[in-house]
Structures are given as C-alpha cells and as structure tokens.
Amino acid sequence: MAKRFLCKALRKHKPYDRPDTINTDKNPAYGAALKEMKDEGRCDANLVHRQVKCLNNRLEADHGKLKRLLKPVRGFKSMKTAYATIKGVEVMRMFRKGQMRVWQLFPGVKGEVNLVEKQFELDSQNAYSEFWKTLMAEFEAA
C-alpha cells in the first residue's frame, strides 16, 4: 500500500521536478517501499528518506479538528454525503483561516456571504424576504 501511494505521488512530478528528500512518519512500510522503488528504478537512487515524526505534526493537527467535528456523526450513509459534508466544513475552515480572501469581492463577512451565495447559487434578497413573510404570517396567525 505504501509503495503504491509513493509511486502515485512521485508519478505526478515531472522528471526535472522530483524531490530530493521525502519526509514520512515512522511507519516502516515507507522505508521498505522506497528501497523496492530504488531497486526497480522507479525513483532516484540518491533520494533521501527522512523518517521524522515531528515534521508531519502540522498536517496531522490540521485535520484533527475535522475528525473531532465528524466523530458524533459516526460515519456517512454514502460517499456523496461524506464528500459534501467534508467539503463544506473545509470551506468554512478556510474562511476562518483567511485563505479565501483572494476570491472575496468585498472585505469581511459581507465578502464571505457573497462568495457562498455565488457558489451555491443563492439569492439573499429572496431568502431574506421569504424569511420576513414567514415570520409575519406566524405573528398574524398567533
């Protein structure tokens, strides 16, 4: 499995753009896979493999929050719902981290709302007026 993953990852790079060093966690499967790949000629013979746990901490910690959010769900019924939910959570986290500022037309919350409306083809004026109509109808009925 590790060999397949590493082959796929290295295949995406052009020959002139391949990495000189690969950092992985301490899983021994990566070392064995890289040795096999070097013997087969699928990667450079002078490729350096560093197995250091702390280099992956930043990436691991980043998706740990997502795991905590999704744990109460206890799985999804289909890949479609899993994909949509995770995509939505990740987009909102990107907003919070400030990674979506490039695509915002307006600064602050107004820009975020505008971007979400465009992505999901929402019309805020219609939604706002529908909300008020419903609210007023409930008050009149009471």
pLDDT at 54 over 80: no
126 lies in some domain: yes
d(CA 53, CA 63): 16
Domain that holds residue 39: 2-51
Same domain? 83 vs 132: yes
Q: Contact 53/25 with Cβ under 8 angstroms?
A: yes
Domain count for the chain, please give it.
2
Span between the terminal Cα atoms of the chain, in Å: 63
Same domain? 93 vs 135: yes
d(CA 52, CA 45): 20
pLDDT averaged over every residue in the chain: 79
65 lies in some domain: no
pTM: 0.43
In this predicted structure, what is the pLDDT of residue 32? 93
In this predicted structure, what is the pLDDT of residue 37? 92
24, β-bridge pairs: 51
